[in-house]
Amino acid sequence: MESPYKGKTGMKRVWNALFYSLAGLRAAIFHEDAFRQEVLLAAILIPTALLTPASAIGKALMISSVLLVLIVELLNSAIEAAVDHTSLDHHQLAKRAKDIGSAAVLLSLLNVVAVWVLVLFN
C-alpha cells in the first residue's frame, strides 16, 4: 500500500524535499520551545568548539555531538506531532511515545557532555 501523499521522484523530489524541510524547521522553531533553546545552545557551543585548542577531528566530534541534539529533537518533535495528529486525548501509549522520545533527547545531551569532556580534558 502506498500513501497517496507521496510526491514526485528524482531531482524534482530533492527540490520539493528541501522546501518541506525548511517548513519543518520553521514549524519546530515556531512550536517547540525545546528546539529554540537547543538552537540557542548550538549557536553558543559551535563557535566555542571552533575556538578551543582541540584538533580538527576533536572539533568535528564536538560540533557533530551538538548537531545530533538538534537532529534527535526534530525526530522527537515529529513523533509528538504524529501522536497529537492521531488524538489529543490522554492515552497511555501516547504518553509513552512522548516520554521515550524525550528520553532520546536527554541521552543526546549526555552524549554532548561525554564528548566535550573527553575531547577538552584530554
Partner 1 sequence: MKSPNKHRPGLTHAWRATGIALQGLRAAWQHEDAFRQEVFVAAIAIPVALFSPVGAIGKALLISGILLVLIVELLNSALEAAVDHTSLEYHPLAQRAKDIASTAVLLSIVNALVVWGLVLLVHA
State yes or no: residue 86 binds partner 1 (CB under 8 A): yes
The nearer residue to partner 1, 19 or 99, going by C-beta atoms, is 99
User: Are 66 and 112 in contact, with CB atoms under 8 Å apart?
Assistant: yes
Name the minimum Å distance from CB 37 to partner 1.
7
C-alpha cell at 27: 514549524
| C-alpha distances in Å from residue 98, one per residue of 15, 37, 68, 88 | 31, 18, 19, 12
Is the CA virtual torsion 7, 12, 13, 16 positive or negative? Answer: negative
User: Are 51 and 76 in contact, with CB atoms under 8 Å apart?
Assistant: no
C-alpha cell at 60: 568535528
Name the minimum Å distance from CB 87 to partner 1.
7
State yes or no: residue 96 binds partner 1 (CB under 8 A): yes
Compute the distance between CA of residue 85 and CA of residue 90 in angstroms, rounded to an integer: 13
Catalytic residue among 2, 32, 38, 73: 73
Size of the site for partner 1 (CB under 8 A): 49
State yes or no: residue 34 binds partner 1 (CB under 8 A): yes
State yes or no: residue 23 binds partner 1 (CB under 8 A): no
Grouping H, G, I as helix, E, B as strand and the rest as coil, residue 54 is coil
State yes or no: residue 45 binds partner 1 (CB under 8 A): no
Q: Contact residues for partner 1 (CB under 8 A)?
A: 1, 3, 31, 33-34, 37, 55, 57-58, 61, 65, 68, 72, 75-76, 79-84, 86-88, 90-91, 93-94, 96-108, 110-111, 114-115, 118-119, 121-122
